[in-house]
Chain A
Amino acid sequence: MAECFQISLLDNVATLLADAEPGSVTIRGEAEQQAIHLAQPVRIAHKVALRAMEKGAPVVKYGVPIGEATQSIAPGEWVHLHNCRSFYDDGSSHLNLETGAREEMPYV
Protein backbone atom coordinates (compact mmCIF):
# COMPACT_ATOMS: atom_id res chain seq x y z
CA MET A 1 0.00 0.00 0.00
CA ALA A 2 1.25 3.50 -0.83
CA GLU A 3 2.35 5.71 2.06
CA CYS A 4 2.23 9.36 2.98
CA PHE A 5 4.00 11.32 5.73
CA GLN A 6 2.54 13.78 8.24
CA ILE A 7 5.10 16.10 9.85
CA SER A 8 3.11 17.63 12.73
CA LEU A 9 -0.03 16.54 14.60
CA LEU A 10 -1.47 19.96 13.77
CA ASP A 11 -1.21 19.35 10.01
CA ASN A 12 -4.30 18.94 7.84
CA VAL A 13 -2.25 17.65 4.88
CA ALA A 14 0.24 14.80 4.42
CA THR A 15 2.91 14.32 1.72
CA LEU A 16 2.89 11.27 -0.56
CA LEU A 17 6.05 9.13 -0.39
CA ALA A 18 5.25 7.47 -3.74
CA ASP A 19 2.86 7.97 -6.63
CA ALA A 20 -0.54 6.66 -5.53
CA GLU A 21 -3.80 5.71 -7.21
CA PRO A 22 -7.23 6.31 -5.61
CA GLY A 23 -7.66 4.11 -2.54
CA SER A 24 -6.30 3.72 0.97
CA VAL A 25 -2.88 5.15 1.85
CA THR A 26 -0.98 4.56 5.13
CA ILE A 27 -0.02 7.69 7.09
CA ARG A 28 3.45 7.68 8.68
CA GLY A 29 5.01 10.26 10.97
CA GLU A 30 3.11 12.33 13.55
CA ALA A 31 -0.34 11.03 12.74
CA GLU A 32 -3.54 10.32 14.69
CA GLN A 33 -5.22 8.62 11.72
CA GLN A 34 -3.63 5.45 10.39
CA ALA A 35 -4.78 5.85 6.80
CA ILE A 36 -6.49 8.20 4.36
CA HIS A 37 -8.60 7.29 1.37
CA LEU A 38 -7.34 9.08 -1.76
CA ALA A 39 -10.16 10.45 -3.88
CA GLN A 40 -7.93 10.82 -6.92
CA PRO A 41 -4.39 9.92 -8.06
CA VAL A 42 -1.72 11.94 -6.19
CA ARG A 43 1.92 12.01 -7.25
CA ILE A 44 5.00 11.59 -5.04
CA ALA A 45 5.81 14.64 -2.85
CA HIS A 46 2.35 16.14 -3.51
CA LYS A 47 -0.12 16.66 -0.68
CA VAL A 48 -3.39 15.01 0.29
CA ALA A 49 -6.00 16.63 2.58
CA LEU A 50 -6.41 14.73 5.86
CA ARG A 51 -9.41 16.76 7.03
CA ALA A 52 -12.17 18.80 5.42
CA MET A 53 -11.27 22.46 4.83
CA GLU A 54 -13.67 25.32 4.12
CA LYS A 55 -12.80 27.97 1.56
CA GLY A 56 -10.44 30.43 3.29
CA ALA A 57 -9.25 27.88 5.88
CA PRO A 58 -5.51 27.60 6.50
CA VAL A 59 -3.69 24.66 4.90
CA VAL A 60 -1.39 23.50 7.73
CA LYS A 61 1.94 21.68 7.29
CA TYR A 62 4.90 21.74 9.74
CA GLY A 63 2.25 22.91 12.23
CA VAL A 64 1.98 26.31 10.52
CA PRO A 65 -0.26 27.71 7.77
CA ILE A 66 1.52 27.36 4.42
CA GLY A 67 -1.41 28.83 2.45
CA GLU A 68 -5.20 29.05 2.38
CA ALA A 69 -7.85 26.94 0.71
CA THR A 70 -9.34 28.76 -2.31
CA GLN A 71 -12.33 26.38 -2.34
CA SER A 72 -13.68 23.78 0.05
CA ILE A 73 -11.49 20.69 0.15
CA ALA A 74 -12.66 17.22 1.18
CA PRO A 75 -10.48 14.66 3.01
CA GLY A 76 -8.55 12.57 0.48
CA GLU A 77 -8.37 15.33 -2.13
CA TRP A 78 -5.15 16.44 -3.79
CA VAL A 79 -4.09 19.85 -2.38
CA HIS A 80 -2.12 22.02 -4.79
CA LEU A 81 -2.20 25.20 -6.88
CA HIS A 82 -5.82 24.64 -7.96
CA ASN A 83 -7.26 24.79 -4.43
CA CYS A 84 -4.59 26.41 -2.24
CA ARG A 85 -2.83 29.75 -2.50
CA SER A 86 0.10 31.46 -0.80
CA PHE A 87 -0.60 34.26 1.70
CA TYR A 88 2.53 35.95 0.43
CA ASP A 89 3.18 35.24 -3.22
CA ASP A 90 0.49 36.07 -5.76
CA GLY A 91 2.57 34.69 -8.63
CA SER A 92 2.09 31.07 -7.61
CA SER A 93 -1.67 31.40 -8.10
CA HIS A 94 -1.11 31.81 -11.83
CA LEU A 95 1.04 28.78 -12.60
CA ASN A 96 0.37 25.74 -14.73
CA LEU A 97 -0.99 23.03 -12.44
CA GLU A 98 1.15 20.29 -13.99
CA THR A 99 4.42 22.02 -14.87
CA GLY A 100 4.46 24.89 -12.37
CA ALA A 101 5.48 27.19 -15.22
CA ARG A 102 4.37 30.83 -15.24
CA GLU A 103 1.74 31.34 -17.92
CA GLU A 104 1.37 35.10 -18.19
CA MET A 105 5.02 35.78 -19.10
CA PRO A 106 5.08 36.97 -22.74
CA TYR A 107 7.64 35.18 -24.95
CA VAL A 108 7.96 37.78 -27.68
Chain B
Amino acid sequence: MSDESATLRNAAWEGYLRPDGRKGIRNLLLVVYTVQCAEFVAQEIAHGEADTHVIGFPGCYDNAYAIRLLLALARHPNVGGVLAVGLGCEYTQPARIADVVRASGRPAHSFFIQEHGGTRSSIEYGKQLLAALRRDVESAPRVPMDWRDLMVGCECGGSDGTSGLAGNPVVGRFFDLLVDLGGSAIFEETVEMIGLRDVLARRGKTPEAQQALRHTYDKAEHYCRSVRQYSIAPGNFAGGLTTIEEKSMGAFAKSGSRPIEGVIRVAETPPHPGLWLLDSVPDQSFMQFGYTNPNDTEGIMDLISTGAQIILFVTGRGSVIGSPIAPLIKITGNGKTFRNMEQDIDFNAGRVLDGSMTMDGAGTALAELVRSVAGGTMTKPEQIGHREYFIMYKHQDTPSLTEGCRA
Protein backbone atom coordinates (compact mmCIF):
# COMPACT_ATOMS: atom_id res chain seq x y z
CA MET B 1 0.00 0.00 0.00
CA SER B 2 1.38 3.41 -0.97
CA ASP B 3 1.74 6.23 1.57
CA GLU B 4 -0.99 8.08 -0.23
CA SER B 5 -3.53 5.28 0.06
CA ALA B 6 -2.57 4.66 3.72
CA THR B 7 -3.23 8.34 4.48
CA LEU B 8 -6.56 8.09 2.73
CA ARG B 9 -7.47 4.84 4.47
CA ASN B 10 -6.74 6.28 7.90
CA ALA B 11 -8.50 9.58 7.25
CA ALA B 12 -10.65 10.79 10.14
CA TRP B 13 -12.47 14.01 10.92
CA GLU B 14 -14.91 15.38 13.49
CA GLY B 15 -18.64 15.16 12.93
CA TYR B 16 -21.81 15.88 14.89
CA LEU B 17 -23.43 13.06 16.88
CA ARG B 18 -27.25 13.04 16.74
CA PRO B 19 -29.35 11.59 19.57
CA ASP B 20 -30.41 8.73 17.26
CA GLY B 21 -26.75 7.72 16.87
CA ARG B 22 -26.28 9.01 13.31
CA LYS B 23 -23.31 11.21 12.49
CA GLY B 24 -23.54 14.40 10.44
CA ILE B 25 -20.88 16.49 8.74
CA ARG B 26 -22.81 19.75 9.13
CA ASN B 27 -24.83 21.12 12.07
CA LEU B 28 -27.88 22.63 10.41
CA LEU B 29 -31.32 23.88 11.32
CA LEU B 30 -34.20 23.18 8.97
CA VAL B 31 -37.38 25.16 8.35
CA VAL B 32 -40.06 22.99 6.71
CA TYR B 33 -43.13 24.49 5.01
CA THR B 34 -46.09 22.18 4.61
CA VAL B 35 -47.78 23.94 1.67
CA GLN B 36 -46.72 26.49 -0.94
CA CYS B 37 -48.82 29.13 0.92
CA ALA B 38 -46.36 28.94 3.85
CA GLU B 39 -43.17 29.07 1.75
CA PHE B 40 -42.62 32.82 1.89
CA VAL B 41 -42.85 32.92 5.69
CA ALA B 42 -40.52 29.88 5.92
CA GLN B 43 -37.96 31.56 3.63
CA GLU B 44 -38.15 34.83 5.58
CA ILE B 45 -37.65 33.01 8.90
CA ALA B 46 -34.47 31.44 7.49
CA HIS B 47 -33.29 34.59 5.71
CA GLY B 48 -29.89 35.78 6.95
CA GLU B 49 -29.36 32.64 9.07
CA ALA B 50 -26.32 30.91 7.56
CA ASP B 51 -26.97 27.59 9.34
CA THR B 52 -30.66 27.39 8.40
CA HIS B 53 -31.93 25.66 5.27
CA VAL B 54 -35.48 25.53 3.89
CA ILE B 55 -37.39 22.57 2.45
CA GLY B 56 -41.08 21.77 2.12
CA PHE B 57 -43.90 20.40 0.04
CA PRO B 58 -45.89 22.72 -2.22
CA GLY B 59 -49.07 20.66 -2.56
CA CYS B 60 -52.12 21.18 -0.35
CA TYR B 61 -53.10 17.51 -0.72
CA ASP B 62 -50.52 15.29 0.90
CA ASN B 63 -48.74 12.40 -0.76
CA ALA B 64 -47.08 9.39 0.89
CA TYR B 65 -43.85 9.86 -1.08
CA ALA B 66 -43.64 13.53 -0.12
CA ILE B 67 -44.35 12.89 3.57
CA ARG B 68 -41.71 10.16 3.75
CA LEU B 69 -39.25 12.43 1.96
CA LEU B 70 -39.90 15.38 4.33
CA LEU B 71 -39.58 13.16 7.39
CA ALA B 72 -36.34 11.63 6.09
CA LEU B 73 -34.86 15.07 5.34
CA ALA B 74 -35.97 16.43 8.73
CA ARG B 75 -34.10 13.59 10.48
CA HIS B 76 -31.06 13.71 8.19
CA PRO B 77 -27.71 13.29 9.99
CA ASN B 78 -26.67 16.83 8.97
CA VAL B 79 -29.79 18.31 10.60
CA GLY B 80 -29.81 19.17 14.30
CA GLY B 81 -33.24 20.75 14.76
CA VAL B 82 -36.43 21.51 12.85
CA LEU B 83 -39.12 24.19 12.68
CA ALA B 84 -42.22 23.13 10.71
CA VAL B 85 -44.44 25.95 9.46
CA GLY B 86 -47.90 25.54 7.94
CA LEU B 87 -50.60 27.90 6.79
CA GLY B 88 -53.36 26.07 8.64
CA CYS B 89 -55.71 24.47 6.11
CA GLU B 90 -53.42 22.02 4.25
CA TYR B 91 -53.32 18.24 4.63
CA THR B 92 -49.65 17.99 5.66
CA GLN B 93 -49.41 18.57 9.41
CA PRO B 94 -46.46 20.55 10.83
CA ALA B 95 -47.14 19.30 14.37
CA ARG B 96 -46.87 15.68 13.25
CA ILE B 97 -43.58 16.40 11.49
CA ALA B 98 -42.28 18.00 14.70
CA ASP B 99 -43.45 14.94 16.70
CA VAL B 100 -41.52 12.54 14.47
CA VAL B 101 -38.41 14.73 14.62
CA ARG B 102 -38.62 14.92 18.45
CA ALA B 103 -38.97 11.11 18.58
CA SER B 104 -35.51 10.99 16.93
CA GLY B 105 -34.20 12.99 19.90
CA ARG B 106 -33.81 16.24 17.92
CA PRO B 107 -35.48 19.42 19.11
CA ALA B 108 -38.42 20.56 16.96
CA HIS B 109 -41.16 23.19 16.93
CA SER B 110 -44.17 23.85 14.74
CA PHE B 111 -46.92 26.37 14.20
CA PHE B 112 -49.65 27.50 11.82
CA ILE B 113 -49.42 30.99 10.33
CA GLN B 114 -53.19 31.43 10.68
CA GLU B 115 -52.81 31.07 14.47
CA HIS B 116 -50.07 33.70 14.70
CA GLY B 117 -51.61 36.74 13.12
CA GLY B 118 -50.17 36.66 9.60
CA THR B 119 -46.89 37.20 7.79
CA ARG B 120 -44.89 39.66 9.92
CA SER B 121 -45.82 38.23 13.30
CA SER B 122 -45.24 34.66 12.06
CA ILE B 123 -41.77 35.57 10.80
CA GLU B 124 -40.96 37.17 14.14
CA TYR B 125 -42.33 34.17 16.06
CA GLY B 126 -40.45 31.77 13.78
CA LYS B 127 -37.18 33.66 14.34
CA GLN B 128 -37.65 33.28 18.12
CA LEU B 129 -38.27 29.52 17.78
CA LEU B 130 -35.23 29.25 15.52
CA ALA B 131 -33.04 31.00 18.12
CA ALA B 132 -34.25 28.55 20.76
CA LEU B 133 -33.49 25.60 18.46
CA ARG B 134 -30.00 26.97 17.80
CA ARG B 135 -29.23 27.07 21.52
CA ASP B 136 -30.08 23.34 21.71
CA VAL B 137 -28.23 22.38 18.56
CA GLU B 138 -25.02 24.35 19.16
CA SER B 139 -24.08 21.90 21.88
CA ALA B 140 -24.30 18.84 19.59
CA PRO B 141 -21.45 16.54 20.66
CA ARG B 142 -18.45 16.35 18.29
CA VAL B 143 -17.36 12.80 17.51
CA PRO B 144 -14.65 11.24 15.36
CA MET B 145 -15.88 10.09 11.94
CA ASP B 146 -14.23 8.03 9.23
CA TRP B 147 -15.18 6.53 5.87
CA ARG B 148 -17.38 3.91 7.53
CA ASP B 149 -19.67 6.68 8.78
CA LEU B 150 -19.96 8.33 5.40
CA MET B 151 -22.69 7.90 2.78
CA VAL B 152 -22.19 9.60 -0.60
CA GLY B 153 -24.76 9.86 -3.39
CA CYS B 154 -24.17 10.65 -7.06
CA GLU B 155 -26.21 11.95 -9.95
CA CYS B 156 -25.36 13.48 -13.33
CA GLY B 157 -27.01 16.25 -15.33
CA GLY B 158 -26.21 18.65 -18.14
CA SER B 159 -24.12 15.82 -19.55
CA ASP B 160 -21.89 16.00 -22.59
CA GLY B 161 -19.50 13.57 -24.28
CA THR B 162 -17.03 13.86 -21.41
CA SER B 163 -19.52 12.77 -18.71
CA GLY B 164 -19.45 9.14 -19.84
CA LEU B 165 -15.71 9.19 -20.60
CA ALA B 166 -14.31 10.94 -17.53
CA GLY B 167 -16.86 12.51 -15.12
CA ASN B 168 -18.86 9.40 -14.30
CA PRO B 169 -15.96 6.87 -14.55
CA VAL B 170 -13.91 8.98 -12.08
CA VAL B 171 -16.84 8.93 -9.64
CA GLY B 172 -16.94 5.16 -10.25
CA ARG B 173 -13.29 4.88 -9.15
CA PHE B 174 -14.05 6.95 -6.05
CA PHE B 175 -17.11 4.79 -5.27
CA ASP B 176 -14.89 1.68 -5.50
CA LEU B 177 -12.48 3.28 -2.99
CA LEU B 178 -15.32 4.38 -0.68
CA VAL B 179 -16.89 0.91 -0.66
CA ASP B 180 -13.50 -0.76 -0.06
CA LEU B 181 -12.96 1.60 2.91
CA GLY B 182 -16.28 0.55 4.46
CA GLY B 183 -18.44 3.49 3.40
CA SER B 184 -21.74 3.68 1.54
CA ALA B 185 -22.25 4.76 -2.06
CA ILE B 186 -25.63 5.43 -3.67
CA PHE B 187 -26.52 5.96 -7.32
CA GLU B 188 -29.89 6.31 -9.06
CA GLU B 189 -31.29 7.15 -12.51
CA THR B 190 -32.49 3.65 -13.44
CA VAL B 191 -34.22 5.17 -16.48
CA GLU B 192 -30.73 6.03 -17.76
CA MET B 193 -29.80 2.31 -17.69
CA ILE B 194 -32.09 1.14 -20.50
CA GLY B 195 -30.50 -1.74 -22.40
CA LEU B 196 -28.34 -2.79 -19.44
CA ARG B 197 -30.72 -5.27 -17.75
CA ASP B 198 -28.19 -8.12 -17.69
CA VAL B 199 -25.16 -5.89 -16.99
CA LEU B 200 -27.02 -4.39 -14.01
CA ALA B 201 -28.37 -7.68 -12.66
CA ARG B 202 -24.94 -9.36 -12.84
CA ARG B 203 -23.58 -6.71 -10.48
CA GLY B 204 -25.98 -7.85 -7.72
CA LYS B 205 -24.10 -9.30 -4.75
CA THR B 206 -26.66 -12.00 -3.93
CA PRO B 207 -29.46 -13.75 -5.87
CA GLU B 208 -31.91 -11.55 -3.92
CA ALA B 209 -30.04 -8.38 -4.93
CA GLN B 210 -29.99 -9.57 -8.55
CA GLN B 211 -33.74 -10.17 -8.42
CA ALA B 212 -34.33 -6.71 -6.92
CA LEU B 213 -32.17 -5.11 -9.63
CA ARG B 214 -34.05 -6.92 -12.41
CA HIS B 215 -37.38 -5.88 -10.88
CA THR B 216 -36.28 -2.25 -10.55
CA TYR B 217 -34.97 -2.25 -14.12
CA ASP B 218 -38.20 -3.76 -15.47
CA LYS B 219 -40.27 -1.11 -13.69
CA ALA B 220 -38.08 1.66 -15.12
CA GLU B 221 -38.28 0.21 -18.63
CA HIS B 222 -42.06 -0.06 -18.39
CA TYR B 223 -42.18 3.53 -17.16
CA CYS B 224 -40.07 4.67 -20.13
CA ARG B 225 -42.30 2.82 -22.58
CA SER B 226 -45.52 4.23 -21.07
CA VAL B 227 -44.38 7.85 -20.98
CA ARG B 228 -42.30 7.49 -24.20
CA GLN B 229 -39.37 8.97 -22.33
CA TYR B 230 -36.20 7.42 -23.68
CA SER B 231 -33.01 9.08 -22.73
CA ILE B 232 -31.53 9.01 -26.21
CA ALA B 233 -32.19 11.51 -28.99
CA PRO B 234 -30.98 12.19 -32.56
CA GLY B 235 -28.33 14.59 -31.31
CA ASN B 236 -26.81 11.83 -29.18
CA PHE B 237 -26.35 9.65 -32.26
CA ALA B 238 -25.03 12.54 -34.34
CA GLY B 239 -22.63 13.24 -31.46
CA GLY B 240 -21.09 9.79 -31.74
CA LEU B 241 -23.18 7.51 -29.51
CA THR B 242 -24.15 4.44 -31.54
CA THR B 243 -26.46 2.49 -29.22
CA ILE B 244 -28.59 3.11 -26.14
CA GLU B 245 -26.39 0.58 -24.31
CA GLU B 246 -23.41 2.86 -24.96
CA LYS B 247 -25.21 5.95 -23.66
CA SER B 248 -26.54 4.03 -20.66
CA MET B 249 -23.05 2.73 -19.79
CA GLY B 250 -21.83 6.33 -19.71
CA ALA B 251 -24.30 7.05 -16.91
CA PHE B 252 -23.93 3.64 -15.22
CA ALA B 253 -20.14 4.12 -15.06
CA LYS B 254 -20.65 6.24 -11.94
CA SER B 255 -21.52 3.03 -10.06
CA GLY B 256 -17.92 1.82 -10.34
CA SER B 257 -17.23 -1.89 -10.31
CA ARG B 258 -18.11 -3.23 -6.87
CA PRO B 259 -21.07 -5.58 -6.22
CA ILE B 260 -24.44 -3.88 -5.66
CA GLU B 261 -25.86 -4.75 -2.25
CA GLY B 262 -29.47 -4.15 -3.25
CA VAL B 263 -32.12 -1.55 -4.02
CA ILE B 264 -33.41 1.12 -1.64
CA ARG B 265 -36.37 3.43 -2.21
CA VAL B 266 -36.80 7.15 -1.58
CA ALA B 267 -36.41 8.04 2.12
CA GLU B 268 -34.91 4.62 2.92
CA THR B 269 -31.46 4.38 4.48
CA PRO B 270 -29.35 1.38 3.40
CA PRO B 271 -29.38 -1.33 6.10
CA HIS B 272 -25.60 -1.76 5.82
CA PRO B 273 -22.68 -0.09 4.00
CA GLY B 274 -21.64 -0.80 0.41
CA LEU B 275 -22.94 0.18 -3.02
CA TRP B 276 -26.72 0.63 -3.39
CA LEU B 277 -29.12 1.54 -6.18
CA LEU B 278 -31.79 4.10 -5.25
CA ASP B 279 -35.13 3.48 -6.99
CA SER B 280 -36.67 6.93 -7.48
CA VAL B 281 -38.92 5.89 -10.39
CA PRO B 282 -42.67 6.21 -9.72
CA ASP B 283 -44.44 2.90 -9.11
CA GLN B 284 -47.04 1.76 -11.58
CA SER B 285 -50.36 3.34 -10.87
CA PHE B 286 -53.64 3.81 -12.71
CA MET B 287 -52.68 7.40 -13.59
CA GLN B 288 -48.90 6.96 -14.06
CA PHE B 289 -48.44 9.25 -11.12
CA GLY B 290 -45.38 11.47 -11.10
CA TYR B 291 -42.16 11.86 -12.99
CA THR B 292 -38.85 10.27 -12.30
CA ASN B 293 -36.33 13.02 -11.62
CA PRO B 294 -38.17 15.84 -13.44
CA ASN B 295 -35.05 17.94 -12.97
CA ASP B 296 -31.59 17.57 -11.42
CA THR B 297 -32.64 19.03 -8.07
CA GLU B 298 -35.50 16.57 -7.48
CA GLY B 299 -33.12 13.66 -8.05
CA ILE B 300 -30.64 15.21 -5.63
CA MET B 301 -33.35 15.54 -2.95
CA ASP B 302 -34.22 11.84 -3.42
CA LEU B 303 -30.54 11.00 -2.88
CA ILE B 304 -30.29 13.18 0.24
CA SER B 305 -33.41 11.47 1.64
CA THR B 306 -31.37 8.24 1.98
CA GLY B 307 -29.21 9.97 4.60
CA ALA B 308 -26.28 10.65 2.26
CA GLN B 309 -24.20 13.41 3.90
CA ILE B 310 -22.52 14.48 0.63
CA ILE B 311 -23.77 14.44 -2.97
CA LEU B 312 -21.59 14.35 -6.08
CA PHE B 313 -23.02 15.99 -9.19
CA VAL B 314 -21.39 15.26 -12.54
CA THR B 315 -21.93 17.78 -15.32
CA GLY B 316 -20.43 18.20 -18.75
CA ARG B 317 -21.94 21.40 -20.05
CA GLY B 318 -21.80 23.06 -16.63
CA SER B 319 -24.31 23.67 -13.85
CA VAL B 320 -24.69 26.25 -11.09
CA ILE B 321 -26.96 24.42 -8.66
CA GLY B 322 -26.37 23.51 -5.04
CA SER B 323 -28.50 21.67 -2.50
CA PRO B 324 -29.85 22.10 1.00
CA ILE B 325 -28.91 19.73 3.87
CA ALA B 326 -26.10 17.80 2.14
CA PRO B 327 -23.24 19.69 0.43
CA LEU B 328 -23.07 19.26 -3.33
CA ILE B 329 -19.65 18.66 -4.92
CA LYS B 330 -19.77 19.57 -8.60
CA ILE B 331 -17.55 17.60 -10.98
CA THR B 332 -17.01 17.97 -14.70
CA GLY B 333 -15.17 15.74 -17.14
CA ASN B 334 -14.82 18.71 -19.49
CA GLY B 335 -11.68 20.77 -18.81
CA LYS B 336 -13.04 23.62 -20.89
CA THR B 337 -16.26 23.74 -18.86
CA PHE B 338 -14.18 23.67 -15.66
CA ARG B 339 -12.08 26.64 -16.75
CA ASN B 340 -15.18 28.48 -17.97
CA MET B 341 -17.18 27.92 -14.76
CA GLU B 342 -14.49 27.41 -12.12
CA GLN B 343 -16.39 29.67 -9.70
CA ASP B 344 -19.12 26.99 -9.53
CA ILE B 345 -17.37 23.67 -10.18
CA ASP B 346 -15.30 21.90 -7.52
CA PHE B 347 -13.45 19.16 -9.39
CA ASN B 348 -11.92 18.86 -12.86
CA ALA B 349 -12.12 15.22 -13.96
CA GLY B 350 -11.17 16.39 -17.46
CA ARG B 351 -7.57 15.93 -16.37
CA VAL B 352 -7.87 12.21 -17.22
CA LEU B 353 -8.72 13.13 -20.83
CA ASP B 354 -5.80 15.53 -21.34
CA GLY B 355 -3.45 12.92 -19.90
CA SER B 356 -2.37 14.94 -16.86
CA MET B 357 -3.98 12.43 -14.48
CA THR B 358 -4.79 8.70 -14.51
CA MET B 359 -8.32 7.49 -13.81
CA ASP B 360 -7.13 5.99 -10.50
CA GLY B 361 -5.28 9.20 -9.65
CA ALA B 362 -8.42 11.23 -10.25
CA GLY B 363 -10.50 8.82 -8.12
CA THR B 364 -8.02 9.30 -5.26
CA ALA B 365 -7.97 13.09 -5.72
CA LEU B 366 -11.78 13.11 -5.56
CA ALA B 367 -11.62 11.04 -2.35
CA GLU B 368 -9.29 13.70 -0.86
CA LEU B 369 -11.80 16.39 -1.75
CA VAL B 370 -14.71 14.42 -0.25
CA ARG B 371 -12.70 13.90 2.95
CA SER B 372 -11.99 17.60 3.16
CA VAL B 373 -15.66 18.52 2.63
CA ALA B 374 -16.66 15.95 5.25
CA GLY B 375 -14.23 17.68 7.63
CA GLY B 376 -15.93 21.04 7.13
CA THR B 377 -14.46 22.61 3.97
CA MET B 378 -17.30 24.30 2.14
CA THR B 379 -18.02 23.28 -1.46
CA LYS B 380 -18.34 25.99 -4.10
CA PRO B 381 -22.17 25.84 -4.06
CA GLU B 382 -22.07 26.12 -0.25
CA GLN B 383 -19.73 29.13 -0.39
CA ILE B 384 -21.99 30.90 -2.87
CA GLY B 385 -25.13 29.97 -0.92
CA HIS B 386 -26.83 27.76 -3.51
CA ARG B 387 -29.61 25.69 -1.88
CA GLU B 388 -31.88 24.77 -4.78
CA TYR B 389 -34.80 22.65 -3.61
CA PHE B 390 -37.61 21.00 -5.54
CA ILE B 391 -39.97 18.09 -5.02
CA MET B 392 -43.36 17.30 -6.53
CA TYR B 393 -46.10 14.68 -6.34
CA LYS B 394 -44.94 11.15 -7.07
CA HIS B 395 -46.63 7.80 -6.57
CA GLN B 396 -44.27 5.49 -4.77
CA ASP B 397 -45.68 2.67 -2.68
CA THR B 398 -48.82 4.37 -1.44
CA PRO B 399 -50.52 1.67 0.65
CA SER B 400 -53.85 1.57 -1.16
CA LEU B 401 -55.26 3.65 -3.96
CA THR B 402 -58.79 3.36 -2.60
CA GLU B 403 -57.87 4.32 0.96
CA GLY B 404 -60.06 7.15 2.17
CA CYS B 405 -62.76 6.56 -0.43
CA ARG B 406 -66.31 5.44 0.39
CA ALA B 407 -66.92 3.51 -2.82
Point out residues on A near B: beta carbons under 8 Å: 3, 5, 7, 15-17, 28-30, 43-47, 59, 61-62, 64-67, 79-81, 84-89, 92, 95-96, 98-102
* Residue of B165, B169, B243 with most chain A CB atoms under a 10 A cut-off: B243
Are A66 and B246 closer than 8 Å at their CB atoms? yes
Query: Roughly how many angstroms separate A79 CA and B240 CA in the complex, as a whole number?
Result: 9
Query: Roughly how many angstroms separate A96 CA and B352 CA in the complex, as a whole number?
Result: 32
42-89 of chain B: CB within 8 A of chain A: none
With CB as the reference atom, state the residue of chain B lying closest to A15. Answer: B165
Are B355 and A28 closer than 8 Å at their CB atoms? yes
Chain B 241-270 near chain A by CB (<8 Å), digits 1 or 0: 111111001101100000000000000000
Cβ-neighbour of B243 out of A43, A46, A86, A96 (below 8 A):
A86
With CB as the reference atom, state the residue of chain B lying closest to A86. Answer: B243
Q: Note all chain A residues with C-beta closer than 8 A to B166.
A: 5
| Residue total for B at the interface (Cβ-Cβ under 8 A) | 31
With CB as the reference atom, state the residue of chain A lying closest to B234. Answer: A100
Query: Roughly how many angstroms separate A66 CA and B243 CA in the complex, as a whole number?
Result: 7
Query: Roughly how many angstroms separate A17 CA and B372 CA in the complex, as a whole number?
Result: 32
The B contact surface, by secondary structure, is helix
Cβ-neighbour of A66 out of B240, B249, B355 (below 8 A):
B249
Are B161 and A44 closer than 8 Å at their CB atoms? yes
Q: Note all chain A residues with C-beta closer than 8 A to B359.
A: 29-30
Are B199 and A45 closer than 8 Å at their CB atoms? no
Are A28 and B253 closer than 8 Å at their CB atoms? no
Query: Roughly how many angstroms separate A61 CA and B166 CA in the complex, as a whole number?
Result: 13
Are A86 and B245 closer than 8 Å at their CB atoms? yes
Query: Roughly how many angstroms separate A46 CA and B244 CA in the complex, as a whole number?
Result: 14
Query: Roughly how many angstroms separate A40 CA and B239 CA in the complex, as a whole number?
Result: 17
Are B242 and A84 closer than 8 Å at their CB atoms? yes
Are B234 and A101 closer than 8 Å at their CB atoms? yes
* Residue of B195, B196, B237, B250 with most chain A CB atoms under a 10 A cut-off: B237
Q: Note all chain B residues with C-beta closer than 8 A to A102.
A: 234
Quick one: given A5-B165, A15-B240, A29-B359, are A95 and B234 in contact (CB under 8 Å)?
yes
Are A80 and B240 closer than 8 Å at their CB atoms? yes
Cβ-neighbour of A88 out of B194, B242, B250, B253 (below 8 A):
B194
Are B242 and A7 closer than 8 Å at their CB atoms? no
Q: Note all chain A residues with C-beta closer than 8 A to B165.
A: 5, 7, 15
Across the A-B interface, give the 6 residue pairs with the lowest CB-CB distance, nearest first. Answer: A100-B237, A45-B240, A86-B243, A45-B161, A46-B240, A100-B234
Are B352 and A80 closer than 8 Å at their CB atoms? no
Q: Note all chain A residues with C-beta closer than 8 A to B353.
A: 5, 17, 28
Are B243 and A64 closer than 8 Å at their CB atoms? no
